[in-house]
Amino acid sequence: MSRIHEETIEAILIGKQKTLGNIKYLTLYSEKIGLFEACLKNSSNLKNHFQGKLENLTKAEFTIFQGRTHRHIKQIQNAKTDHLDNLTKEKQNFIATICQIIQKVSPKEQTILGLQDILETTRKNLPLVAKPELLFIYTLVQIIYRIGIMFDPKFCQNCQQELSEKSFLNDNQLICPNCQKHGSTQFIVDTSTRKTIFYGISTDFQTFSQIKIPEQTQTQTIHTLKNILENYLQTTLRVFLNYGHR
């Protein structure tokens, strides 16, 4: 009989679903595999190696093996939760929204360059920030940018001229007023929102968090990012209701 192959990988918990028989299916993201599911059964062997509560964005080392139909988790070690279970309801909703978006937009078992680093940045900084709006915007911008559906915030997609005023979102690309079709009703993106998204793409979070972004611009930026995701998925994203509009 061939020996079952096991491997230990570092991954971040993105979601969990409990089924009958006290079995959980965990959705994990790792730089080695990408987004994948694995079956977790409660057992004394598992409890001997892991003591704690699995929260979304928990980072840990998962020992997994391939069963007939699913991957199975044998062991969880070195879990880093950063006390996510003690966060405010608003921050918990932040995590829920981000994780649901990743599950919707990330292709299964395909790695996305830098995504794990962004999730780690989010996990480490969320307990530290007083208000999570800027971190929410930064994380969303980075996710959209890294999966390849972010518009160029500086140039018109049609004429390639530099954008200097309000622009219009058309098929997830920005066009200038001169290229806008007369009578069309594309989503308007103002200059402040474009600049916010540009900084979210081009800076790290510590730099981004020092930028003074008015509340109205923060709200408009979140609406714009939601519009990009909905255009890409061709569906309404109700997960944003978990985070809430101000």
| Predicted TM-score of the model (pTM) | 0.89
CA angle (84 as vertex; 81, 90 as ends), nearest 5:
155
In a domain, 117, yes or no: no
Domain around 30 = 6-80
The amino acid sitting at 134 is L
The amino acid sitting at 132 is P
pLDDT of residue 241: 57
In contact, 55 and 85? CB cutoff 8 Å: yes
pLDDT of residue 184: 61
Considering the domain architecture, whether residues 138 and 60 belong to the same structural domain is answered as no
Q: Domain containing 75 — which CATH number? A: 2.40.50.140
Considering the domain architecture, whether residues 135 and 214 belong to the same structural domain is answered as yes
Helix, strand, coil percentages in the chain from 3-state DSSP, rounded to 5: 35, 25, 40
pLDDT of residue 7: 94
Domain count, the chain: 2
The residue out of 52, 80, 108 marking a domain boundary is 80
Considering the domain architecture, whether residues 158 and 76 belong to the same structural domain is answered as no
In a domain, 243, yes or no: no
pLDDT of residue 145: 96
Considering the domain architecture, whether residues 136 and 55 belong to the same structural domain is answered as no
Considering the domain architecture, whether residues 140 and 229 belong to the same structural domain is answered as yes
In a domain, 85, yes or no: no
pLDDT of residue 44: 43
**pLDDT tens digits, 51-82:** 567 889 999 999 999 888 889 999 999 888 77
